[in-house]
Amino acid sequence: MAKQEEILTIDAPSPDFTLPASHGEEVSLKDFKGKYVILYFYPKDNTPGCTTEACDFKDYHEAFKNLDAVILGVSPDTLKSHDKFIEKYQLPFLLLADEEHTVAEAYGAWVLKKIYGREYMGIERSTFIIDKEGNLIKVFRKVKVKGHVEAALEYIKELEQN
């Protein structure tokens, strides 16, 4: 099987998906046609790095909204876990439950990880920016949380200025 990074192509259609969302309904990528989509994959609710990233997206939520962009967070956690995470931090955007990690695999965010010599499969913190027609336009892999949300916002601002 080819590596996902080779399958995903900039300026080509993003892999479509349908996942259960924190508002109790299923959502599909195509539901957001006409808006930019910030699709970010994170390992686990209520962990330090993931909480910081989610709160950074929360802090910039209005700025993204003003640029016609929606934020969708994706992790393998359950909807129940997402609900607690959203409530605890008052997150204003949808979190999607990818319990079977099929969407993470489609985007190449489900990878072999190593920690203390132990290998396991898990989410690589990644963000994908999808344009208003559903095409993948920017990929951030192996994301470092500090400054990442601002970089994604700046990217969309630059698109809007051109």
Tell me whether residue 147 is exposed, middle or buried, using C-beta atoms within 10 angstroms of its C-beta: 0 to 12, 13 to 18, 19 or more. Answer: exposed
Question: Known catalytic residues?
Answer: 50
Measured CA to CA, the distance from residue 144 to residue 162 in angstroms comes to 27
Those residues with Cβ within 8 angstroms of residue 157's Cβ, 6 or more apart along the chain or in another chain: 67
Q: Which of 113, 119, 140 is nearest to 129 (CA)?
A: 140
C-alpha–C-alpha distance, residues 67 and 156, integer Å: 7
Rounded to an integer, what distance in angstroms lies between the CA atom of residue 119 and that of residue 112? 7
